Amino acid sequence: MAFLKLGFTAFGGPTAHLGFFREEFVVKRKWLSESAYADLVALCQFLPGPASSQVGMALGLQRAGTLGLVAAWAAFTLPSAILLVLFAIAANNLDSLIGNGWIIGLKAATVAVVAHAVLGMAKTLAPDAPRATLAVAAMALVLLFPSPIIQVAVILGAGLLGLLWLRGQAPQSEQAEFSFARHSQRSALIYLAIFLLLLFGLPVAAAFFDHGALSLFEIFYSTGALVFGGGHVVLPMLETQTVGTGLVEHDAFLAGYAAAQAVPGPLFTFAAYLGMVFQAGPSGILGAAIALVAIFLPSALLIAAALPFWQRLRHSNVARRALMGVNAAVVGLLAAALYSPVFVQGASTIPTLVLAALGFVALHSWKVAPWLLVVASALIGWVLF
């Protein structure tokens, strides 16, 4: 019930979610200490996938093993996923009833939200000249050569450059061991093997077997396995994998992404919306379920695999430098997505550019909640466009 309550009320993105988790599970319920929670957050930020969801999965694992992990994920994720599925069902009817001006407003809101995310992440993850240079280089590469393979290569290359070029320090927090891992290192290695088998085996299987459900699962599993930074960073890879391949329309993609800002819970539930509007293979409720499970499955496997080994790894300066490079590249990938498709599609006219700029000021200077901005932009778009 604790995670279900958060699934309905946790607005504000991954940073806010981590604050909600701390208040609920460290302060109120005392499931773990402050130092253990800080260690857990560090682990989930190190791994690919949505950090807040992974923290929730780990806490569920602490309380009730694998079933607890699944229960925590479902309770925190399904409320927003269901809301986005309902939005996808209603979108076509709304078009016929009130026109598509509200979609124009949603796309302008997306420009503001992503621009605000790029600025905030750049301040944290690319604050100095070397990392800013890595971010710009990553942006240039993915804009010049748009493909999922290039995105993965950029992330891996940035990790290597970070290892060779950057100088990071391992965190100096208290020595808090992960005593709540409910399985041995042998079990962790099994989870890791499953993760790698699916990561490398699914593309091969999808190439040999022309099956829509398998292709859909492969797209979203690969995305969940290779997106570092979580949250908004999922945007560029999902756009390349769906819109770039003609499987989802531009307008539908941006409208759904904007709607995802207005619901509680993790932003990765955007996958459920995309599964609903998928144009090849299964769509509707089945497509939403496949996409939702596929994008979160890598996170579940990785968190179960990593917990027993994290205490040693997190004190490694080598790992820290590689992560600094990866995080800088993540900023570049998100900046590329800000230009295309977000800005190109969402601020292509002077009125929409003005609306997007006003939305950015509302977020950055007036600290308006993203969900409120999305609702207001949709209403303004409906009235004006």
Instruction: For residue 379, tell me if it sits in a domain.
Output: yes
Question: Looking at the predicted structure, is the pLDDT value of residue 94 above 70?
Answer: no
Q: For residue 27, what are the contacts with CB-CB under 8 A and spacing of at least 6?
A: none
Does residue 161 register a pLDDT over 90?
A: yes
Among residues 345, 344, 377, 341, the alpha carbon closest in space to that of 359 is found at: 377
Whole-number Cα distances in Å, 53 to 44, 48, 291: 9, 11, 16
Claim: this prediction has a pTM higher than 0.85: no
Give the tokens for residue 13: 């993105």
Q: Residues for the chain: how many in total? A: 385
Indicate if the pLDDT at residue 280 is higher than 80.
Answer: no
What single-letter amino acid sits at 14?
A: P
Whose structure tokens read 């709540």? Answer: 180
pLDDT of residue 175: 46
> Residue 168: what pLDDT?
61
Question: How confident is residue 81, by pLDDT bands cut at 50, 70 and 90?
Answer: very high
248 contacts 48 by C-beta, under 8 angstroms: no
Residue 363 or 95, more confident: 363
Write down the pLDDT at residue 312: 67
Question: Is 3:56 a contact under the CB 8 Å cutoff?
Answer: yes
Mean pLDDT for 104-113 is: 83
pLDDT at 5 over 80: yes
The average pLDDT across 358-378 equals 87
**Which amino acid belongs to residue 132?**
A
Q: Say how far apart CA 99 and CA 104 lie, in whole Å.
A: 10
**What mean pLDDT comes out for the span 237-248?**
84
Rounded to an integer, the average pLDDT of 4-25 is: 76
Whether residue 78 has pLDDT greater than 70: yes
Q: Which of 82-91, 178-187, 260-269, 363-372 has the highest mean pLDDT?
A: 82-91
Predicted local distance difference test score (pLDDT) of residue 97: 56
Q: Is residue 173 part of a domain?
A: no
Q: Structural domain of residue 22, as residue ranges?
A: 2-168+182-384
Residue 207 has pLDDT above 80, yes or no: yes
Least confident of 74-78, 273-277, 291-295, 340-344: 340-344
Q: With bands split at pLDDT 50, 70 and 90, how would you rate the model's confidence at 300?
A: very high
Q: 217 phi and psi, to 5 degrees?
A: -60, -40
* Cα–Cα distance measured from residue 103 to residue 381, given in angstroms and rounded to the nearest whole number: 7
What confidence score (pLDDT) does residue 132 get?
94
3-state secondary structure (DSSP) of residue 167? coil
Q: Is the pLDDT of residue 314 over 70?
A: no
Task: Please state the rounded mean pLDDT for residues 369-380.
Answer: 84
Number of helices and strands in the chain (H, E):
18, 0
Tell whether 116 is covered by a domain: yes
Q: Between these two residues, 20 and 270, which has the higher pLDDT value?
A: 270
- According to DSSP, residue 184 is labeled -
What total of structural domains would you count in the chain?
1
**In this model, does residue 336 exceed pLDDT 60?**
yes
pLDDT at 18 over 50: yes
**177 assigned to some structural domain:** no
Type of residue at 133 = T
41 vs 359: which has the higher pLDDT: 359
Question: Mean of the pLDDT values across residues 76-95?
Answer: 86
In a domain, 93, yes or no: yes
Average confidence (pLDDT) over 360-380 = 87
Residue environment code for 211-233, b if the CB has 16+ CB neighbours within 10 A, otherwise e: ebebbbbbbbbbbbbbbbbbbbb
Residue 329 has pLDDT above 60, yes or no: yes
From 114-118, 140-144, 200-204, the region with the lowest mean pLDDT:
114-118
Instruction: Evaluate whether 377 touches 355 at the Cβ level (below 8 Å).
Output: yes
Q: Is residue 46 part of a domain?
A: yes
- pLDDT at residue 104 is higher than 60: yes
Q: Measure Cα distances from 241 to 83, 229, 349 in Å.
A: 23, 18, 27
Q: How far is CA 224 from CA 237, 363, 371, in A?
A: 9, 27, 24
The answer to which of 8-12, 160-164, 259-263, 378-382 has the lowest mean pLDDT is 8-12
The answer as to whether 158 is a domain residue is yes
What pLDDT does residue 75 have? 94
The pLDDT value given to residue 382? 86
Whether 87 maps to a domain, the answer reads yes
Can you tell me the mean pLDDT for 278-285? 81
pLDDT for the residue 179 = 53
The proportion of the chain whose per-residue pLDDT surpasses 90, expressed as a percent, equals 29
Mean pLDDT (the chain) is 83
Q: What is the pLDDT of residue 330?
A: 78
